[in-house]
Amino acid sequence: MAIDLTGRVAIVTGAGGGLGRAHALLLAKRGTRVVVNDLGGARDGRGGTSAMAEAVVDEIRALGGDAIADGASVAEPDQVEAMIGRAMEAWGRIDILVNNAGILRDRTFTKLDLADFRAVLDVHLMGAVHCSKAVWEIMRAQRHGRIVMTTSSSGLWGNFGQSPYAAAKMGLVGLMKTLAEEGAKYGIHVNALAPSAATRMTADIMPEAELAALDPAFVAPAMLALVADEGPTGTILCAGAGSVEAAHVTMTQGLYIGDGEDAADRLLADLPRILDREGALPLATGMEQPRYEVERHLARQGQPPRRAHG
């Protein structure tokens, strides 16, 4: 079954090159009108030019598609609102938002300036907040919307020298999970994509042989599946080099420790059992953890659990 997005309108941030360009081109090929957003700055976010976004628009138009370029900084909510206004004026609706814009200012935590930490959060995390907030009421009114957050393996599992990037990317997972819950009754699906791709962001931090296998075009199909009408919500997909996987935030079965003066000592002694991933629980929402723990506590008091887990 072919994914047909004819008549849809998409905004792709950071679409002047790399992943964003691949996303924008694939969306256009499937009939979507695309706002190609890119500030046009360097990898660290400094500077800016409209040339990159305009070049992608030219590519889309050469393929027979419809696109407009926009140089709004996602870190600036007023600029984002203006971008959304231009899209609505041009096409009257917004169906898809791919939050892809990002910068890197990698240093070890010891050497990192807090201003750089904030700058990375402002683009990756707050940029996604600004854009998602700006389209949210439009999508609610339409009773349809698709939002993709670009997370990262660095956020899901950590990476040396990338504390601000990792913090922002894991923050996007929490944002995605919550918005997926809140948007469900309005037909808004929200997902996250953790890409492995050769872009300006990874050009000098991965071996050349690996970069050759990580064409951004391998990642874009996962994005397309996430924004399809039949796509999921609340899902984290990982994609790169032709492979697609799912990532889950799980909780182990754990142990009942209780309280008492020696609670921490018993916990430390039993830590291997607490860390054991066998039978780990893929929780549906944040409330599942306290419910699980309260039911275990009640069971220890002789009261049967209200429902099964795992």
The reply to whether 236 and 289 lie within a common domain is no
Q: What is residue 244's three-state secondary structure?
A: strand
- Tell which residue, 273, 271, 270, 310, has the closest CA to residue 288: 310
In a domain, 2, yes or no: no
CATH number reported for the structural domain that contains residue 206 in this entry? 3.40.50.720
Instruction: Give the per-residue pLDDT at 213.
Output: 82
Rounded to whole angstroms, the Cα distance separating 127 from 146 reads 17
Domain boundary among 247, 267, 284: 247
Look at residue 54 and tell me if it is in a domain: yes
* 249-271 confidence digits (pLDDT tens): 999 999 999 999 999 999 999 99
Whether 217 shows a pLDDT value over 50: the answer reads yes
pLDDT tens readout for residues 159-192: 999 999 999 999 999 999 999 999 999 999 999 9
**For the chain, what is the domain count?**
2
Tally Cβ neighbours within 10 Å of residue 127. Answer: 28
Answer yes or no: is 58 within a domain: yes
- Tell me how far apart the alpha carbons of residues 129 and 273 are, in angstroms, rounded to a whole number: 38
* Structural domain contains residue 1: no
At what angle are helices 77-91 and 114-142 packed, to 10 degrees?
30
Is 165 in the active site?
Answer: yes
**Token pair belonging to 277:** 């991933």
44 plus 180 within the same structural domain: yes
Co-location of 179 and 242 in the same domain: yes
Q: What pLDDT, on a 0 to 100 scale, did the predictor assign at position 212?
A: 77
Residues 228 and 289 in one domain: no
Position 46 confidence tier, pLDDT thresholds 50, 70, 90 = low
Final residue belonging to a domain, choices 219, 247, 275: 247
Residue 141 predicted with pLDDT over 50: yes
Both 256 and 229 in one domain: the answer is: no
Residue 237 phi, psi dihedral angles, 5° rounding: -105, 140
Name the nearest CA neighbour of 163 among 150, 172, 154, 171: 154
Residue with token string 């030219």: 58
Per-residue pLDDT, averaged over 230-251, amounts to 96
Same domain, 122 and 186: yes
Name the token pair of 58.
Answer: 């030219």
What is the extent of the structural domain holding 236?
9-247
Look at residue 84 and tell me whether its pLDDT is greater than 70. yes
By C-alpha distance, which of 199, 111, 198 is closest to 163?
111
Of 221, 247, 273, the residue at which a domain comes to its end is 247
pLDDT value for 50: 82
Which of 165, 186, 256, 292 is catalytic? The answer is 165
Question: Quick check: is 262 in a domain?
Answer: yes
State the average pLDDT over residues 78-88. Answer: 98
> What pLDDT shows up at residue 310?
40
Two tokens, residue 96: 């898809």
Q: 171 vs 50, which has greater pLDDT?
A: 171
Both 24 and 156 in one domain: the answer is: yes
Residues 189, 146, single domain; the answer is: yes
Average pLDDT, the chain: 93
Question: What's the pLDDT at 197?
Answer: 86
Residue 55 sits in the same domain as residue 121: yes
State how far the alpha carbon of 70 is from the alpha carbons of 20, 47, 127, 148, in Å. Answer: 13, 15, 15, 19
Does 28 lie in the same domain as 144? yes
Same domain, 225 and 77: yes
Residue 237 within any structural domain of the chain: yes
Q: Is the domain of 168 the same as that of 41?
A: yes
Ranges of beta strands (E only) in 222-275 are 236-240, 243-247
pLDDT band at residue 309 under the 50/70/90 scheme: very low
